[in-house]
């Protein structure tokens, strides 16, 4: 006999419009693809470091040891307490747990961006959802670092997800006011706190968006609801806990810049500008300009024009917040490009006319073909890297079991930006280097280093390490 709940779900699925079914199928395919890539992604770089307590240097064993480690980390290294707790917490769980959750967060991020673009519109837009997922896949300059690497995914993918999710009620309220449920106010306060405490630049972009939304509510309705104020207050509190962490200033003091303040700001501004237009960022900027002009020609209401501008302003805020940081890594563009994707999507969902809708669908179809080719490249690269890492790990475990304490092995280099190993430090020649030291500690060795770099054949691509068998000096 079929349970009532199951029958109700089947009836709901049958009654759902085709657009909703297509969106669900798309999210399921993305989840399955990301799960496969996550399963083929081994530990790398900081993952080994995060397996040990910053407070005691011992291997993490449970929740208390993670909290103790991050309490020390907060006062001596970084303010990302919640994010780093998650990153360290995953090292004490089976990797399969992270694989499942990370694939779900990635698929969920696309759905959240879709909802931010739609607002209170009930009808799904499969073409725009496809374009959102394609942007997340194709634009990132270091996809593997921000979406597959365990430490990097939590710091960037998860942080971005928290920030985007915190914006959902504001995006819904932009369409028109609604009577909130009782739980919305405390949920916004907590969600704002977590999102504001997540990432220095993405959280800064979130604050820009929240302030603009509250300002719009005050202009339109002459007041803003309690939950909107609480969400903003929570985000401000979280951001203060993030930025004012004592560990941030210990690191700043240890790396003083001898240049003048104007020179520093000018160089950092130009660096931020370069990161914004590098990789696929310029494509998103041009696409936003085109879509926004088409939207203006349709003469939508104030809320319709304001929505994409909020996300665009948030992207600029997230990007140029990095002026305050001495270093702007490519992976820090994750939140920036996600906000830009949301801005483009918020324009696209409002464009009317059969020809326009057909153009969006055709564009999504064409880019899907290109992404499919990229997925084959990425899958081969990621799988090959995984096999080589498994082979090296088996040799390291065998050496440790045999009682060897000082091991010299090889580094492994990958080819594409979709592989987590691309752009991340692997084993080096100096056993005292932090990557070598932490990896050696993880495998129970006293010393570990690499005497050469190895890779694998990749048709159409070259890698000097494969040709020379040498590893560059650090």
Q: What is the pLDDT of residues 318-344, one digit of tens each?
A: 999 999 888 899 999 999 999 999 999
DSSP string covering 71-126, please?
A: HHHHHHT-S-HHHHHHHHHHTTS-HHHHHHHHHHHHHHHHHHHHHHHHTT--S--H
pTM of the full predicted structure? 0.92
Count the Cβ atoms, other than its own, within 10 Å of residue 29.
12
Residues 233 and 195 sit within 8 Å (Cβ to Cβ) = no
Could you say which DSSP state residue 322 is in?
Answer: G
Residue 143 has pLDDT above 70, yes or no: yes
Nearest to 166 by CA among 206, 132, 129: 206
CA 299/CA 401 separation, integer angstroms? 71
Residues 80 and 131 sit within 8 Å (Cβ to Cβ) = no
Q: What percentage of residues in the chain have a pLDDT greater than 70? A: 92
pLDDT for position 124: 84
Taken in order 199, 200, 205, 210, the sign of the CA dihedral is positive
Residue pLDDT, tens place only, 256-314: 667 778 888 888 899 999 999 987 889 999 999 999 999 999 888 888 899 999 999 99
Residues 228 and 173 sit within 8 Å (Cβ to Cβ) = yes
Residue 352 has pLDDT above 90, yes or no: no
pLDDT for position 196: 96
Residue 2 has pLDDT above 90, yes or no: no
pLDDT bin (cut points 50, 70, 90) of residue 20 is confident
| Helix ranges (DSSP H) in 148-199 | 150-153, 159-175, 184-196
pLDDT for position 13: 64
- Look at the block and give the residue holding tokens 């399955």: 32
Q: What is the mean pLDDT of the chain?
A: 89
pLDDT for position 75: 92
Q: What percentage of residues in the chain have a pLDDT greater than 90? A: 70
> Coil, helix or strand for 349?
coil
pLDDT for position 293: 94
Residue pLDDT, tens place only, 154-186: 999 999 999 999 999 999 999 888 888 889 999
């Amino acid at each position: 006999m079929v349970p009532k709940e199951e029958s109700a779900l089947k009836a709901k699925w049958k009654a759902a419009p085709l657009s909703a079914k297509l969106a669900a199928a798309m999210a399921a395919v993305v989840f399955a693809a990301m799960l496969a890539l996550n399963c083929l992604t081994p530990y790398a770089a900081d993952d080994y470091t995060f397996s040990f307590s910053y407070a005691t240097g011992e291997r993490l064993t449970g929740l208390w040891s993670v909290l103790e480690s991050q309490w020390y980390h907060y006062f001596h290294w970084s303010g990302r307490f919640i994010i780093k707790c998650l990153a360290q917490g995953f090292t004490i769980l089976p990797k399969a747990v992270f694989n499942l959750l990370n694939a779900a967060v990635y698929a969920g991020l696309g759905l959240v961006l879709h909802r931010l673009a739609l607002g209170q519109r009930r009808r799904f837009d499969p073409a725009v959802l496809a374009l959102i997922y394609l942007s997340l896949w194709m634009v990132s300059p270091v996809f593997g670092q921000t979406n597959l690497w365990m430490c990097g995914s939590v710091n960037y993918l998860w942080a971005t997800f928290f920030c985007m999710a915190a914006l959902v009620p504001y995006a819904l309220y932009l369409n028109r006011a609604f009577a909130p449920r009782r739980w919305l106010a405390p949920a916004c306060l907590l969600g704002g706190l977590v999102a504001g405490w997540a990432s220095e630049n993405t959280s800064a972009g979130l604050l820009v968006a929240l302030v603009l939304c509250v300002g719009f509510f005050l202009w339109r309705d002459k007041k803003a609801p309690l939950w909107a104020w609480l969400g903003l207050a929570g985000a401000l509190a979280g951001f203060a806990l993030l930025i004012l962490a004592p560990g941030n200033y210990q690191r700043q003091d240890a790396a003083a810049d001898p240049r003048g303040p104007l020179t520093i700001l000018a160089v950092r501004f130009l660096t931020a500008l370069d990161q914004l237009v590098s990789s696929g960022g310029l494509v998103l900027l041009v696409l936003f300009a085109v879509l926004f002009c088409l939207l203006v020609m349709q003469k939508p209401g104030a809320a319709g024009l304001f929505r994409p501008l909020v996300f665009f302003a948030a992207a600029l805020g997230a990007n140029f917040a990095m002026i305050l940081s001495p270093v702007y890594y490519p992976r820090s563009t994750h939140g920036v490009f996600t906000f830009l994707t949301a801005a483009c999507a918020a324009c696209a969902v409002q464009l009317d006319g059969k020809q326009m809708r057909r153009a969006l669908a055709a564009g999504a179809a064409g880019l899907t073909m290109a992404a499919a080719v990229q997925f084959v490249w990425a899958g081969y690269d990621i799988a090959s890297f995984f096999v080589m890492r498994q082979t090296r790990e088996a040799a390291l475990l065998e050496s440790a079991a045999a009682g060897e304490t000082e091991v010299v092995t090889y580094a492994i280099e990958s080819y594409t930006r979709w592989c987590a190993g691309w752009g991340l430090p692997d084993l080096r020649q100096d056993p005292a280097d932090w990557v070598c030291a932490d990896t050696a500690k993880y495998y129970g060795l006293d010393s570990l280093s690499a005497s050469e770099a190895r890779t694998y054949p990749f048709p159409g691509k070259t890698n000097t390490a494969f040709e020379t068998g040498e590893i560059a000096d650090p």
